[in-house]
């Protein structure tokens, strides 16, 4: 009895093995799609806020009561046009006081000049008296006391000249000071009339007639003027993973909620290098210029944008689903990759210690690339070239810390030479797809892809034709 039970169990195992091996191939059905020609457009999605190219906040440099407003919202203004008026009575009084101070300073200067003239006359008189006393002393017709008195009077007159000249300089300086105060008083009076600094449109007004403004610490903003609303500017925040794809001059298409059926266009004007870190998310500012001749776009609108990296028409393309497909249990034959660390060590003739560090850096680089590929294998929006560029930049930064300056410069030259020797056919990004062979089995094909959108990637090279059946997914059939 025990024998028959053992035989039955063995029969069940053999039957299960036969079913799994004999019919397992037929339980998998491959869905395929052939490469076809079409258009491919690669874009970077982002959002931003519209604003005028030049926005001027008009304030006041003096304090006072708003007595008149000459413009309102949406009014067009010209440079120098009066747009508001402050109560100027206090500043008129200060101006009159400054004018009176100037007159007093001019009178004081004239008085000091008259004193100088008087001192010159006195100096001439004492000089003649002193000379006469000297002559009389030589003739023994006077005494030493009178000669000394004449000499003292002469020297005092000389000192008075110096004093009068100094007083004139002081009076002149005081006059300059009073003139400066007069100019300041006139300037403050002129500033009670608020004028537009540019040609433009008033887009904001923050004061009303009768309101008091104080400019003690900073100039308060009264109006906001957009210089030219026929041209708009959009500030967009682009993620660090996409910023490498954005370049000056690229076409930008965007929409705003106010006109959902209308598409606007612009171009990238600037990619700013300063990063912004918000909750560990790093973004960069990208400035887009957009024409607004009809003035449909208003400042502050939210623009949903597509920055066009590139566009190609009528190119052979493969579905992105094919790039993500990997059959279970089948290993593709890959070409052996060159040992980049060994080549670099040999070319730079590195010592043992440095060579060990370089090997470790390249090993970490390989692990990081494998981890990145596995994490993003199912993400159709992943840009393999961007990931490769980021990892290579990290490797390059690490090598700069290990190599000497001369070795690092030689490393950069070797990289440049390698890129220059790369043939035109090697352009694009390496990828792999699977196609059905004549026996109906999947086989791996190495290809190179270029521009990509959400659904398709441009096929640049590889042993693939439009008649091949590229596997996009596999399903089990009951």
Summary mean pLDDT of the chain: 85
Model confidence at 328, in pLDDT bands (50, 70, 90)? confident
What are φ and ψ of residue 388, in 5° steps? -65, -40
- The mean pLDDT value for 222-229 works out to 91
Inform me whether the pLDDT recorded for 277 exceeds 60.
Answer: yes
- Segment 106-115 mean pLDDT: 93
Give the whole-angstrom CA distance, residue 402 versus residue 351.
12
Per-residue model confidence (pLDDT) at position 427: 66
Higher pLDDT, 381 or 188: 188
Residue 114: band (very low, low, confident or very high) from pLDDT cuts 50, 70, 90: very high
pLDDT tens for 23-49 read 444 578 888 988 999 999 889 999 999
**The pLDDT value given to residue 310:** 87
Q: What count of other Cβ atoms lies within 10 Å of the Cβ of residue 436?
A: 15
For residues 70-91, average pLDDT: 93
pLDDT in the model for residue 237: 93
Q: How far apart are CA 247 and CA 363, in angstroms?
A: 33
**CA–CA dist 216, 124 (Å, integer):** 57
Supply the pLDDT for residue 24: 44
State yes or no: pLDDT of 181 exceeds 70: yes
Cβ proximity of 426 and 463 under 8 Å = no
Residue 12 has pLDDT above 60, yes or no: no
The percent of residues above 70 in pLDDT, for the chain, comes to: 87
Which of 389, 406, 388, 408 has its CA nearest to residue 398? Answer: 408
SS (H, E, C) the chain: CHHHHHHHHHHHHHHHHHHHHHCHHHHEEEEEECCEEEEEEEEEEEEEEEEECCEEEEECCCCEEEEEECCCCCCEECCCCEEEEECCHHHHHHHHHHHHHHHHHHHHHHHHHHHHHHHHHHHHHHHHHHHHHHHHHHCCCCCHHHHHHHHHHHHHHHHHHHHHHHHHHHHHHHHHHHHHHHHHHHHHHHHCEEECCCCEEEEEECCCCCCEECCCCCCCEEEEEECCCCEEEEEEEEECCCHHHCCCCCEEEEEECCEEEEEEEEEEEEEEEEEEEECCEEEEEEEEEEECCCCCCCCCCEEEEEEEEEEEEEEEEEEHHHHHCCCCCCCCCCCCCCCHHHHHHHHHCCCHHHHHHHHHHHHHHHHHHHHHHHHCCCCCCCCHHHHHHHHHHHHHHHHHHHCCHHHHHHHHHHHHHHHHHCCHHHCCEEEEEEEECCCCCEEEEEEEEEEECCCEEEEEEECCCCCCCEEEEEEECC
pLDDT greater than 50 at residue 447: yes
Confidence label for 17 from pLDDT (cuts 50, 70 and 90): very low
Q: Is the pTM of this model over 0.75?
A: no
Residue 337 pLDDT grade (very low, low, confident, very high; cuts 50, 70, 90):
low
Q: Assign residue 453 a region: left if phi > 0, alpha if psi is -120 to 50, beta otherwise?
A: beta
Confirm if 458 and 315 have CB atoms less than 8 A apart.
yes
* Structure tokens given for 225: 């003027």
Residue-level pLDDT at 234: 95
The pLDDT, as a whole number, for residue 263 is 94
- One-letter-per-residue 3-state SS of 5-48: HHHHHHHHHHHHHHHHHHCHHHHEEEEEECCEEEEEEEEEEEEE
**In the predicted model, is pLDDT for residue 340 greater than 90?**
no
Q: What's the mean pLDDT in 197-210?
A: 92
Task: Report CA-CA distances (Å) from 251 to 43, 46, 50, 310.
Answer: 10, 13, 17, 9
Q: Which residue has the higher pLDDT, 245 or 86?
A: 86
Per-residue confidence (pLDDT) for residue 22, from 0 to 100: 43
pLDDT in tens, 362-414: 888 888 877 876 776 555 455 666 677 778 888 888 888 888 888 888 888 88
Give the rounded percent of residues in the chain with a pLDDT score beyond 90.
45
Q: Which of 32, 33, 20, 19 lies closest to 474 in space, CA to CA? A: 32
């Amino acid at each position: 009895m025990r024998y028959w039970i053992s035989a039955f169990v063995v029969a069940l195992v053999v039957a299960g093995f036969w079913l799994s091996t004999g019919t397992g191939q037929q339980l998998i059905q491959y869905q395929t799609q052939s490469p076809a020609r079409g258009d491919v457009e690669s874009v970077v999605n982002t959002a931003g806020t519209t604003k005028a190219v030049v926005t001027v906040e008009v304030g006041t440099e003096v304090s006072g009561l708003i007595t008149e407003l000459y413009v309102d919202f949406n009014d067009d203004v010209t440079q120098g046009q009066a747009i508001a008026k402050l109560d100027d009575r206090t500043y008129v009084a200060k101006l009159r006081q400054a004018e009176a101070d100037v007159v007093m300073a001019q009178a004081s200067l004239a008085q000091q000049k008259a004193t100088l003239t008087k001192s010159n006359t006195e100096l001439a008189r004492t000089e003649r008296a002193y000379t006469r006393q000297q002559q009389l002393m030589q003739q023994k017709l006077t005494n030493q006391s009178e000669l000394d008195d004449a000499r003292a009077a002469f020297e005092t007159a000389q000192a008075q000249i110096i004093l009068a000249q100094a007083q004139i300089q002081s009076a002149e300086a005081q006059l300059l000071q009073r003139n400066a105060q007069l100019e300041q008083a006139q300037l403050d009076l002129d500033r009670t009339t608020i004028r537009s600094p540019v040609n433009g449109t008033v887009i904001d007004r923050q004061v009303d007639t009768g309101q008091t403004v104080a400019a003690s610490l900073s100039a308060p903003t009264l109006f906001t003027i957009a210089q030219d609303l026929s041209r708009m500017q959009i500030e967009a925040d682009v993620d660090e993973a996409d910023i490498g794809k954005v370049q000056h001059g690229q076409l930008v298409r965007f929409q705003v909620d106010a006109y959902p059926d209308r598409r606007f266009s612009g171009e990238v004007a600037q990619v700013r290098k300063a990063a912004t870190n918000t909750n560990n998310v790093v973004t960069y500012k990208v400035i887009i210029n957009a024409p607004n001749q009809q003035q449909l776009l208003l400042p502050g609108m939210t623009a949903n944008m597509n920055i066009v990296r590139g566009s190609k028409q009528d190119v052979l393309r493969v579905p992105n689903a094919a790039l993500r497909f990997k059959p279970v249990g089948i290993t593709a034959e890959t070409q052996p990759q060159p040992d980049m660390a060994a080549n670099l060590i040999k070319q730079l003739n590195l010592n043992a210690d440095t060579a060990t560090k370089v090997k470790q850096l390249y090993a970490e680089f390989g692990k990081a690339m494998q981890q990145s590929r596995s994490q993003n294998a199912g993400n159709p929006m992943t840009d393999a070239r961007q990931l490769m560029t980021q990892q290579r930049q990290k490797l390059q930064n690490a090598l700069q810390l290990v190599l000497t300056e001369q070795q690092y410069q030689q490393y950069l030259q070797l990289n440049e030479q390698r890129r220059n020797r790369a043939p035109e056919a090697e352009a694009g990004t390496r990828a792999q797809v699977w196609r059905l062979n004549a026996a109906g089995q999947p086989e791996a094909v190495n290809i190179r892809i270029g521009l990509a959108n959400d659904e398709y990637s441009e096929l640049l090279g590889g042993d693939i034709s439009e008649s091949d059946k590229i596997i996009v997914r596999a399903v089990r059939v009951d």
